[in-house]
Amino acid sequence: MANLNIRSQQDRTYEAIVIGSGISGAWAAKELCDLGVKTLMLERGRNVEHNKDYPTTNMLPYEFEHRGQVPQKIQDENPVVSKCYAFREDAMHFFVKDKEHPYVQEKPFDWIRGYQVGGKSLLWARQVQRWSEYDFEGPARDGFAVDWPIRYKDLESWYSHVEKFAGVSGNKDGLKTLPDGEFLPGYELNVVEKYFQEKLKENYGGSRHMISSRCAHINGNLEHFAQQGRGQCQNRNLCQRGCPFGGYFSSNSSTIPWALKTGNLTLRPDAVVHSIMYDEEKGLATGVRVIDATTKEMEEFYAPVIFLNAAALNSNLILLNSTSNRFPNGMGNDSGLLGKYVAFHNYRAGVSAEYEGHAEYTTSGGRPTSGYFPRFRNVEKQETDFLRGYAAGFSAGRGARPETDAIGMDLKNNLLNPDKYGPWYVGSHMMGETIPKETNYVALDTNLKDPFGMPQLKINISYDDNDEKMIKDYLEQMTEMFDKAGFTNIQTRDDKRAPGLDIHEMGGVRMGRDPKTSLLNGNHQLHSVPNVYVTDGSSMTSTSTQNPSLTYMAFAARAAHHAVKESKK
């Protein structure tokens, strides 16, 4: 590939470069631009503008050729991405197809990606929980990973900062394991969910809780969010199409337009980052090599500060591919740990049941969230034969069972005005913390290349005995809680899915206090290349049980302010 220098180096020089436009990258860009920093944002995928590029957002079911289903031919061509719950006819244009970016599965791993401006912020489940002090202290206490170089107090104000801007609906629950935040009104639990909530108090005192899950949806305070051009969530539950109201937080509806309005952001889509350049004499990164996704030509951009936010596994790939005399095994990789200690969330298990009570009630309409069990295992002390714990979702509902024996107008009336309902259904799914291990790693394949001539990523990630014990405990405990609540026909499942469908991969460029055992310091700087910041999922030292995106946002905002402060010294 030719190295084009059509534009002068001065024209290709910025004060900061952000790699990636997803949740964390867009937050880094928004903060840098707010602070007056001329910023270039690089995105390997196509441009997607809020509203303009949501082609299915207002389509009715009958307007889809396949009524929302993915044709079998497309499923056969995409055995990995077609496993994702949101890969349907209305949203599959936002997903990377299997052949577009191949990778090597040394062990089964379903890598779900979204390459476009906004990344997976158009597709995420929008669940946002703060980490607690227990989560940041966990590795030091339990000895399963290196100590986090930060604690909750270091991130508390940044959680507030991003919550106020993004919009988070939730309740002040007063739980030590799940700190309260800056909330819009929370979504109400339905009658059976409240019943189960009360049964937990009755049967377990204050040791187990089920709350309304906090979500990044606007539910009130409309004047504040109107400044971003966003409106209230309409409870359509069509979020994966892109929201025309801006009712949920995405880079496309919120942080990117905000950064563009400052006049400090230059957005470059179709820019596949090849590597970060390094100056041996200065001991610093100098810029980024980019492959144009259309022409396949290479170009270089320069900046004194680089933010790497390409999503966890791609950020590992870029650093591994950023080699030099100083770093023959990848930028910042003095410890030899780059790409190692990758972890994820375990979503394999679930429990369902029925409930005959509260027959005078039913459900109608939608909401963008559900019930949530914060972690209750091994919190204050080690009490099981496995490390750490799990969170869980919970929901209840009731559907109509209309008479279908009639024909003609009678059948239509029966369907439109059902007078019979089945029992309540209740269900829960597990989200378990996995333990970072050196044997869970990603690396570059020495032979296979992707369509841009870059090495394919090898992924070697699997479950272990700790995960199996955790699944067993979750199924036992949830079954017990369901039984004590009077639920019947209790069914357990372990779907044996491969890692990856959680879409919560983390680590490989972990933070730590010691350069010998980590890649990043407490400010998200590479220990040996301090002008490179990494604030996406790859920076995570451990995974906790909470959905991680809110923490990525807080990390990115905090690190951006640190970078600007350092540049002024």
Residues 518, 477: one domain? no
Residues 8, 42: one domain? yes
**C-beta neighbour count of 514 within 10 angstroms:** 12
Task: Judge whether 79 lies within some domain.
Answer: no
Residues 446, 314: one domain? yes
Residues 269, 361: one domain? no
Task: Judge whether 77 lies within some domain.
Answer: no
On whether the CB atoms of residues 310 and 327 are closer than 8 A, the answer is no
Domain termination site, one of 498, 514, 549: 498
* Separation between Cα atoms, residue 221 and residue 199, nearest integer Å: 33
**C-beta neighbour count of 399 within 10 angstroms:** 13
On whether the CB atoms of residues 464 and 370 are closer than 8 A, the answer is no
- Taking only the tens place, the pLDDT of each residue in 453-496 is 999 999 999 999 999 999 999 999 999 999 999 999 999 999 99
Residue 454: give its domain's CATH number.
3.50.50.60
**pLDDT at residue 436, rounded to an integer:** 97
Residues 413, 554: one domain? no
List beta partners, residue 267.
Answer: 41
Task: Judge whether 485 lies within some domain.
Answer: yes
**pLDDT at residue 4, rounded to an integer:** 45
Task: Judge whether 475 lies within some domain.
Answer: yes
Residues 307, 399: one domain? no
Kindly state the tokens that stand for 311. Answer: 């999503």
Kindly state the tokens that stand for 378. Answer: 């091994």
Residues 449, 510: one domain? yes
List beta partners, residue 567.
Answer: none
Phi then psi for 405, rounded to 5 degrees? -80, -25
DSSP designation for 446: E
Residues 522, 491: one domain? no
Q: What's the maximum distance between 2 C-alpha atoms anywhere in the chain?
A: 83
The half-sphere exposure of 253 on its side-chain side, counting CA atoms within 13 A, is 30
Question: Which stretches of the chain score pLDDT less than 70?
Answer: 1-7
pTM over 0.85: yes
Residues 443, 429: one domain? no
Residues 153, 288: one domain? yes
Question: Which structural domain range is residue 15 located in?
Answer: 1-51+100-165+247-344+439-460+504-569
Task: Judge whether 90 lies within some domain.
Answer: no
Number of domains in the chain: 2
**pLDDT at residue 416, rounded to an integer:** 84
**pLDDT at residue 420, rounded to an integer:** 83
Residues 443, 329: one domain? yes
The half-sphere exposure of 178 on its side-chain side, counting CA atoms within 13 A, is 27
**pLDDT at residue 7, rounded to an integer:** 64
Residues 193, 152: one domain? no
